[in-house]
Amino acid sequence: MKAVNITWEAGEELHQGATDLSAWHGFKAYGNVGFLTQEDLSITDTMQQWFIDNEKRIYALVCDYVKQNYQELLEESEFLDVFDEDSETYPTRVGEVSEADMRAGDIFKLMQLSAFVLHHPDKNALGMIFECAWDEEHGFGIVIQGDKVISQGFEQVVYRSL
């Protein structure tokens, strides 16, 4: 991963970090990739280093998890109901998609990364927020701790899990 320059802004509940990243590995960004944390801003360098040291492992875990569970995620969303004889494609925040796109499960076409949620490095955990074609209202959130996905669901799951 290229060097990440994060500019942090303190917030009441969440501190926000802005970057110029427009992608992360195979995932395009929804805007620029952001970073969020509830931790003290004095440890942002430590959190960022933890992220850099673990990002390849995290990427592999996310890809494997979504590919293995994609069909279940799609079925739960009932997204396929939007396609009918009159509409072969459907506009989403991640672009026009067809029923064939959705059934193919190409996660790089169907998901765009919005933000990483960083935690204290001792927790060995990270949350990720995605815009996704199958649930534009709630997005998709995933929380990784160690070498496991410990929680997934709507975007809000990344704030509640740790």
pLDDT in tens, 116-135: 999 999 999 999 999 988 88
List the alpha helices (DSSP H) in the chain: 44-77, 99-104, 107-110, 157-160
pLDDT of residue 162: 58
pLDDT of residue 75: 80
Assessment of whether the complete model's pTM goes beyond 0.85: yes
From residue 79, alpha-carbon distances to 84, 91, 98, 99 in Å are 12, 12, 11, 9
pLDDT of residue 85: 64
21 in Cβ contact with 4 (< 8 Å): yes
Tell me what the mean pLDDT of segment 73-96 comes to: 78
- pLDDT interval class at 48 (50, 70, 90): very high
Tell me what the mean pLDDT of segment 53-73 comes to: 92
φ/ψ of residue 149, rounded to 5: -80, 120
pLDDT of residue 56: 94
